[in-house]
Structure 1
Amino acid sequence: MREKYKPVALKNAPMEYAPSNELGVVFLFAHVARLLQFRIEEIRPQFPDCTAYRRMGDSEKKARIEFEFRSSSFKVHGHDQAKCDVIVCWHHDWPDVPGSIEVIELKRHFGVARKVWIQQAIKSQQEYLDEHDRMEWALSKRATPGDLLLMYKCAPVSAITDVFVFSGNDIARGGAGWREGDAYFGEIRRICHLGSPVFLDDLRKHRVLKTASFVRRNMQGVGLLATEYWPYLYDMILERNPAASKKLNQLRPDKL
């Protein structure tokens, strides 16, 4: 049985830990609404959840707000996009959100920015990785929900072949299965498969990426943090896989 791991601690927040549901989103939004220039008129149990007015220069503009834990839930719930101006969420995981709707991802306001990890898949795991778009996977204990996972298939492939996201709400600790001892696990979801993988040899030839610790370590080790190198990795991935640009748009370096 897996033991639930401590949730993500927040910085400068009225809650000790990151929210795990929509009610937590509503609570946190109340504490940043004024900072974001919102004056709340009404919060109600039906769609849209909130009516507010947002300061725009010398005037105010009415804003119809829907609260969601994940932005993609707006689509799952079948809400009418024509009746909403703003989605306030904790995780923004909807790359195809209509352009008419602004998304406010609260984690950015409480010191929980997304991180990028190189996540290994050993030979015995690679077939399973190919067959499932959602699964539990071993993660670094420092990973937080919403983090980006660049799935690296170890030898004989030796390449980044897929982009996933940590889609669960928390990390649990349990038996590793492929080795002795415990590991930390979380639910992950595929963003896209890379038809043209990024090989380790390609990273070794890149003027900047060749200096990264994960490249110098030949992608070995647990918790290969790659956040500071994401702009270079992002460019390399899109250069080889231009069809993935739409799916990766919300994960652009300037939005991460």
Structure 2
Amino acid sequence: MHQLEPSFSEITSTGRSGCGVVSIAAVSILVALLGAGVFGLMALDGSDLPFLDNPAAAQVADNLPFVLGGLLCLGFGSVAAWAVGSTIIGGAMRRAKLDEPEVLGPEKVRVGESFRVQYRQAVKGDINVTRINVRLLLREWVRYTSGTDTYTTSHDHVIQTHELPGGLFSSGSMIIQELDFAIPPSGIHTFPTPQMIEDFKDSPEVKQMLERNPRLAVRITQATTFTPARNNKLSWHVHVQIDIDRWPDYNQAFEVPVAAEVLTDNRF
């Protein structure tokens, strides 16, 4: 068994997003714009606005377009700052309670084969784990273009789930799990395969690129998207979700390489 490599955190099909925060910010901005619009209409209509007798208020009214622009920038800036800040702070809080895990699994698995994963994670601070959820996922990754824009999207298919009870873990203790999974006989191997990628790097297309611009070619060939199937990928992952009471949850997936072979007997 060897250490499985971490791949991604949130599950795309069921993962949470920041839509709620964006909605709150959008409502706040809308209220501000409506209020400013009512104020502007009253001013244009010649309505009596006593507070404009105050020089400071009159100055604000004269600069109303700039005030509206500032409110918009402040609202959208707050949303962006919250999204970035919550990611950084949430990650730091998780690391304060949980160490990086050791996840051992097979070097490769065949289609239709069962395998075992060993999970060990040190606890650095007292926590109350309400639930541990470990899933086997098949992730589809697609890149496509619309007009002049390029987009990427991914979707996770939950193949198998282990729902495990939590409990109180004190500082210095360990979260230890040993779980069995199976790639379905009707499943598909990791795509593209490692051999396909190596063959592609040795292809005439890549060799010609190396001759024209060696520095650029090396950087491109090291990129994960430079494969014979640049717009489609299939990969298998074991995703671990640890729900912690009054603390950010732990979410991390680890890739399981599935070879382009089908299980036919008990020998590997």
Give TM-score, length-normalised by structure 1: 0.21
Q: Counting helix residues as a fraction of each chain, which structure ranks higher?
A: 2
